[in-house]
Structure formats: structure tokens, C-alpha cells
Chains A and B, each alone.
Chain A
Amino acid sequence: MPVVELQGIGKRFGKVVASAGIDLRIEDGEYVTILGPSGCGKTTLIRMIAGILEPSEGRVLIGGRDMAGVPIEERDVGYVFQNIALFPHLSAIENVSYGPIVKDMSEEEKASIPRRYLELVNLLDRMNMFPDALSGGEKQKVALARALASGAKLLLLDEPLSALDARVRMDLRYELRRIAKDLGLTVLHVTHDQEEAMTVSDRIVLMRNGRIVEVNTPEELYKAPKELFTANFIGETNLLDGVVVRNGSDHTVVELRDGTHVEAQPSRFGPGDAVVLSVRPERVHALETGLKAVIRALTFMGTYVRVTAEADSEDVLEFDVPVARGRDYNMGDNVYLGWSMSSALVYPRPPEGIAEAVKLE
């Protein structure tokens, strides 16, 4: 039995449709990320699961039970808010004890459980401090301990790391997954950061404009995205405009705007179909021959140099070279780019144009 099931969930605020047609199943022990740009409806979704919002249509089932009419406090779901929401008038330990107290646990539990979870997040020595004396990362850990101490097995995290510094985020995201796995929790983690999603998730639910675009493991979404939006949103990619020329059993040939022919994975398109070709920067290499492009920019990225080049077809391609080889490339140079067939994926060209189809806001 799935821990969480959403059947046909939709939510309207007046005339505005925040989400529609959501079907989802989350299994016990999964760490699932709900990923998407701001305004895609991801926070609305977990609020409906928590009971903070009521869906306009559809059913929310937790543990097989329909949650219609069930108030927040009876759903037994842990929630960590985007802005942390630690009670400012209570110390860290008092915050973490809140759940056990309002659930009227036994005296022994009320004493031991909060300490156990504060210890789990390595903040037992800060237990008497008040929220305004804690750093951002510490506050977030206390919020996590507090949600866990209430005994919930299902944890909803609403952009828990967004307010933190980049470095603190990186450290904390591993912690979240580790704790979740150690305790056998089911987690729904909302974020707009695809890098974050890829590193912590068992599965990613990609959302856009209130609908689910695609659901899959991080690896699959990265290697074989089914939608153009996914290909562009998760990881970086180069997008080239073209028309199918030939469709063979093991490859597709696409003609770019300037007439150059390039190769891609086999696809279901026929000659004459308008398509978009997607190839990731790390799969593009500078060769002796290939697609001709002029170098427009060179950017130092630390352990590699990102080269930006413009092809005659006006498509812009980015690829990376090791820092040591960076000196071989200069602005204005011609490069000849190529990639293996299996590196490039083909998608139908969206009628509204590529920019519209992949835009984030």
C-alpha cells in the first residue's frame, strides 16, 4: 500500500488554477523530490497533503485512508516550512518537545524523545538556546528534529534549504537523506534546485504550471528525459532547431537551419518533421571535422573551462574543456563540434517556440 496517493488532485484559487490532474503514488520509505520553477504548484501540492489546503477536486489518501475532512492535526504528517517557523518564544528543546507534549505522550517519552532527536541532528549542546541565537542551518536542523519528534513517519519538506547559503545547503542536503533513510521515513521534499533534487532523491516529480511533467529516477531523467522541458530543466543542455532528414534504425539525421546535417538517437519522427535536438555540454567535443562554430565566450569554471560557440545556424552550443587545454581556445576561433549519436535526443518542436516551451517564469 502506498504511503501517499493522489488521485486526480486539482486546486483553484478563484479563477487561478494552481494545479490540475495530479496523480501520484509514493511508496513506503521513498525519498521523493517535487521539483519545478516558482509558481509551478509544488508547495500547493504538499500543503494539500498536509491538510493546510483542501483540494478543489480529487482525493488525497494517506496510508490508504481518504483524507477529506480530516484536519491537519490528525494526519500525523511532519512538516518543515520554508521559513522554518520555529516558535520564537520557546527554546530549541522546548520547540522539539512541542509534539510530544500536545500528543500527550507519557512523561518518560516527553523527556527522552526530544533529546534523542536533538542529538540526531547534533544540536543537543544548543538545546537551551532560543531561535534568534541560532544560525540558519541550526534552525533548520531543529525544525527537522521537531517534526521528527512528533512521531510522524511521513515527512513533508517545503524548500527546507532555500534560505541557506550555498555551502551550508550542500552539507545539509546529505544529512536530510541520511537521517530519512536511517529512520525509515517517507519523504516528500519540495525544491526549485535541480542539483539538490538529483543528489537526494530516489525519484523526482517534475512539475510545471500546476501539472506533472515527468516522474522518474534522477538518472533516467538526466539520461533519457521524455519531455523537452525536462531535458532543459534538469542539468544543462544545448538545444538545436532542425528538421528530420532521414530516420534510420540506429540513428536520426537532422538538418539544422543552415543546412548542416547532424546525428541523433533513433526516434519515431519521419522526414520533414520539425524537431529540437538536445545534447548535453559534456557530450560535445571539439574535433577535426563536424559542425562549424565560432567561439564567443570562454568562462573559467574552476576545474574546467566552459566554451560558448555560435554555429552558422545561429544555434549556440556550450561544451567544456579541461583547464589545462583552455589555452588552446580563443575568442573568435573556429571549432568543429561533434557528438556520438547516442548522446543527442530528439523532441518534437513545440509550436510556441523553444524559448516559450522551456521558459521558467
Chain B
Amino acid sequence: MGSGKRALDLISRRGFRKGWTLFIISFFAFFVVLPTIFILSYAVTDWSDIQANVLSDPATMDLILSSIVVSFEIAALVTVIDFLVGLPVAWMLARKNFRGKQFLDTLIDMPLAVPTAALGFSAAIFWAATPDPPAFSLAVISGPMLLIILLHVVFSYPYMVRSLTAILGEIDETYEIAGRTLGASRLTAVRTITLPLFRAGLVTGAILCFARSLSETGGTIIALATLYGRPMVEGDFQTGSTLIGLWRSASASDPTLLPALAFVSILLILLALALLAVLKLTIMKVRLPLRKVWPTSEKMLSRRPYPFFKDLSAIVFLVVIVLVPSFFIFTFVLTGASAGSLDWAPFVDSLVLSFLVAAVVTAVDLALGIPLALYIAKNRSGKLSQLLDVLVNVPLIVPTAALGFSLALFWSFLDIEASLPVLLIILAHIAFTYPLVVRNVVGAVEGVDPAYEETARTLGAKPIQSFRRVLYPLIKGSILAGAIMAFTRSLGETGATLAVVANANTAPVYIVDLVNAQEYSLAAMACIVLIVISYLAMLLLRRFTREEVV
């Protein structure tokens, strides 16, 4: 008892707390941020190489630029679509109470439980007009761009809806009602009052959505491979990320590709960061003038049956465009080939590896991400905290393939790629899951009245005691949500894994190999197993802490 108290006193001392904060921030800087953007230094160190091999080669430049343009086009379209169809659903979740609301809530999160590799495959076999399409599929799409857009819409959908729901939940409904008492129809009130107040959250949702699409690699590669019926080659339709993925695997045998690979990564990262900055700075400045009203038409649109149709079409979209393609893979089982030919041993090995990595990654994210989140949330006015808040978003913006590549370069001095590839994979996965935990926890802590902990302190609680007894119970739900996001994200990640270690063998990579080898029924089998197991893991995690979550 005595030593426990002494330990408590020690860690509560101001000096210790400062040291701990320093450690947390250093971890973040050195293990998350720096490796992610390390590739940018390549522009400085190997500029001559880039000039020689890339800038002076029109064909390569052409390829690079067109793929980047395509990436941005897709991301923009996806963001707009997700906003238009996600907003009504977010509205229903945030503002209305109806039977089945819980059910809808769970449905939204489902795409998160499906690993990107599996989702890419599932969506592709549903939509793609391949020579021999499976039963029940629509098989209408033959253009790669449209297919990718439909795929990305599914990936980004939960991010958009969750962000919008969170923000809508924070805007007091009283403002809208006030507008209506002044004579505004429902639609007018929403348009002129709620949406402007909503801007900050809208930007967050849009950025997350955009970034997710921009950085998406694994599922895209698999989808295109399924469409073409063969592995991707350079001449195919390319997004920036698929190009990076392609060149990364090729660069193992052909080092001359490195400058080009570096250049496209750098370009993609810089443009994404620039866009992030522009969006954040301008959207808050734009004044939405109130001059224009169309009272009669807006009033009409506010009455039935228009709102009903709006909600109905949003739900239909959710089901047809998001859910069915995500889970289409299950029908493949009913109609497809046998599972007997699946080579279980290596698949199980890959599953174990994936889960191991995901578990370690989530644990590290929580242990070191929560303290950083606490620092940011509690020091809002400090410059350092604001800087950290911005930097936390960087790994989310950087395309996972570029991230993996950058990370591999950063850690190359350790020379562990051969000896301990798992460690590299873990480090890579930490980089893009850490921000998910931090963002969730920051949001949660900011929603808690600081008076609770302050009162606890005056009652004699040291900071660590106040956290454990007062703050933690109130943010448990968000910590769990962050943990689930990190776990499922790591489980499903393909692009970064491929990019960081040449022949990693996580489960998603295994599936990619199967698809490239056109072993579709086996790939489907593997996908289903992966989906079921990750969904169970998610449920288990939820159930485990359900009693404690208020």
C-alpha cells in the first residue's frame, strides 16, 4: 500500500508529468508523423534523380499527372455524392426518433467491418461486367472510373455519415425552431441557419471522406483486377494510389522506378495537404448571404411527400449502393465453387498475422494515443496543441501506399525488412490508425465539461486519479469507438502493407494474391471468413465493454 502511494505521488509530480508529455509528443512525432512524410525529403536528397528519370520523361510525367488528376476527380465526386446521400441519413440519426433507429445505426458501420480487400472484391463482382458474372449480380459496369467511384462511395460513406451525425448532434435544434417561429419553412430554416452553423463539421466530414478516397489502394487494385480478369499493368486505368502500389511491388526488382515512385508519392501528398489547408481556411470565411428566399417553393418542399421521398431515397441508396455490394460476396458462396480446394494452412497463418498485427497496433494506439488526445483537448489555447491537432490529420490524408513506401524508406536504416517484417507492418499500421483514436478521444474529451475534473482535483484527486475515476467513465464509449475503428482499419488494410514490406502475408494480401491468380471462388471464401471473423471481433469488443458504457 505504501509503495503504491509512493508511486502515485511520483507520477503526479509536475516534473514527471512534463516528462511524460514530452515522451508522448516525441513518440507521435518520431513514429507517426515523420515516417509518414519522410518521402518528402526525397525531393531534396535525390532531386537530380527525379529530374533525370521523371521530369524529363514525358511518358512517365503524363502517366503520373493523369493518375493524380483521376484520383482527385474521383475523390471530389465521391465526397459530393456521399454528402448528398449521407446528409438525410445523418439527419435521421441525429434528430429523429423512430423504431429501428438502432438498427440503422449498426447498418451504417457495417462497411467498416469489411476489410478493404474483401469489399473491393465483393463490390467488383457485383457491379463489374465480366465475361462470366456470378448469379444475382448487376454486372452493368465496364468502365473502370465508374466502378472505382461506386467502390469509394462505399468506403467513405460511414466516415461522412458519422461526422455529419456528430456535428448535427451538437447544433442545438432550438436555432431551427427559432427560425420557424419567425416564419421560415423547415427547408428554409435548415438552409439558412443549420447549414451555415454546420460548416466546421462539414469540412471535417468532407476532408475525411476525400482523404479516404484519395488514399484507398488495396480495394481499388482488387476491383480493377477483377474487372480486367488479370493483375493490373501499367497501361491500365490508374489512380495515383494504384500507380504507387504497382510501382512499389515492381520496384523490388526494378530500382530505377524509385524516383518515379517517390515523385508521384510526393506530389500526391503535397497536393492533398494543400487542399486540406485551403479548405480549412476558406470555408469558414465564405459568407452565405441570406438574401435569397423562395418562400412558396421551399414551403412546398417542406411538406409531404417530399421529405418522405428524400429519406426513402437515402435509405434505398444506402441499401443498394452501399450494403448490397459490400455483402454480395456472401451470395457467391451459395452459387460458387467449393471451399475444399482452399489451402487453409497459409490462409489461417495470414489471418493470425493480421489479427496479431491489429491487436498490437490497437493496443499501442490506445496506450500512446489517449495521452496525446488528452494533451490536445486540455490545452486548446496553446500553439503546440493546435499544431499537433493539425498534424494528427496528416497520416489520414496521405495515401496508404505512399505512407507505406515512405515508412519503409524511413526505417530502412534499421534494416529489418528481411529479419522482422512484422515490426515494419505494425509500425506502418500504427501510423494511420493512431489518428483515428486521437481524433475520437479529442472529440469526446472536448464534449465533457472541464468542471468535473476540476471539482475532483479540489476534492483531493491527483490528475491520474481524476482521469481514471471521473473522465474515463465519461469517454469510454468514444475510446471504444476509436479502438474499433483502429482495429478494423488495420485488419482490412492492404495498400500500406503491400507498400511497406514487399512480401507481407497478412490476410488481405493473401486475398489480393488469390484475385490476381483469378482464383475467384477461393478469394470469395477467404473474404467471407475474414468478414465474419472481423465482424465477430467487433461485436465481441462492443459486448465486452457494453455494461460499462453508460
A interface residues (Cβ-Cβ under 8 A, vs B): 50, 52, 71-73, 76-79, 81, 83, 85, 87-90, 94, 97-99, 101-104, 146-147, 150
Contacts of B196 in A (CB 8 A): 89
Contact of B185 among A73, A83, A87 (CB under 8 A): A73
> Which of the four size classes fits the interface of chain B?
20 to 34
B295 touches A102 (CB 8 A): yes
B175 touches A102 (CB 8 A): no
Q: How far is the CB of A98 from chain B (nearest CB, A)?
A: 5
Contacts of A81 in B (CB 8 A): 174, 178
A102 touches B178 (CB 8 A): no
Q: Residue on A with the closest CB to B198? A: A89
State the CA gap A97–B172 with chains docked (Å): 21
Contacts of B178 in A (CB 8 A): 79, 81, 85, 87
Q: Does B470 contact A (CB under 8 A)?
A: no
Q: How far is the CB of A104 from chain B (nearest CB, A)?
A: 5
Q: Does B391 contact A (CB under 8 A)?
A: no
Contacts of A76 in B (CB 8 A): 183
Contact of A72 among B174, B181, B193, B295 (CB under 8 A): B181
A98 touches B181 (CB 8 A): no
Contacts of A52 in B (CB 8 A): 177, 181
State the CA gap A81–B299 with chains docked (Å): 24
Q: Residue on B with the closest CB to A86? A: B178
Q: If A89-B196, A104-B295 touch, does A72 touch B175 (CB 8 Å cutoff)?
A: no
State the CA gap A150–B184 with chains docked (Å): 10
A87-B193, A103-B183 known; 19 new pairs, CB 8 Å cut-off, are A50-B181, A71-B180, A71-B302, A72-B181, A73-B180, A73-B182, A73-B184, A77-B181, A79-B177, A79-B178, A85-B172, A87-B197, A101-B293, A102-B184, A102-B185, A102-B188, A102-B293, A103-B182, A150-B182
Contacts of A77 in B (CB 8 A): 181
Q: If A83-B174, A85-B175 touch, does A147 touch B293 (CB 8 Å cutoff)?
A: no
Q: Does B421 contact A (CB under 8 A)?
A: no
Contacts of B463 in A (CB 8 A): none
Q: If A87-B193, A102-B295 touch, does A73 touch B174 (CB 8 Å cutoff)?
A: no
Contacts of A90 in B (CB 8 A): 290
Q: Does B179 contact A (CB under 8 A)?
A: yes
Contact of B179 among A71, A88, A102 (CB under 8 A): A102
Ranked nearest first, the 5 interchain pairs of A and B with the lowest CB-CB distance are A79-B181, A102-B184, A99-B182, A72-B180, A85-B178
Q: How far is the CB of B177 from chain A (nearest CB, A)?
A: 6
B161-181 contact mask (Cβ, 8 Å, vs A): 1 or 0: 000000000001011011111
B183 touches A73 (CB 8 A): yes
Q: If A87-B193, A88-B197, A104-B295 touch, does A98 touch B174 (CB 8 Å cutoff)?
A: no
Residue picked from A77, A81, A147, most chain B C-beta under 10 Å? A81
Q: Residue on A with the closest CB to B290? A: A101
Q: Residue on B with the closest CB to A76? A: B183
Contact of B181 among A87, A97, A147 (CB under 8 A): A147
B182 touches A147 (CB 8 A): yes
B53-94 contact mask (Cβ, 8 Å, vs A): 1 or 0: 000000000000000000000000000000000000000000
State the CA gap A146–B178 with chains docked (Å): 10
Contact of A94 among B184, B188, B290, B295 (CB under 8 A): B290
Residue picked from B178, B181, B196, most chain A C-beta under 10 Å? B181
A99 touches B183 (CB 8 A): yes
State the CA gap A87–B177 with chains docked (Å): 11
Contacts of B197 in A (CB 8 A): 87-89
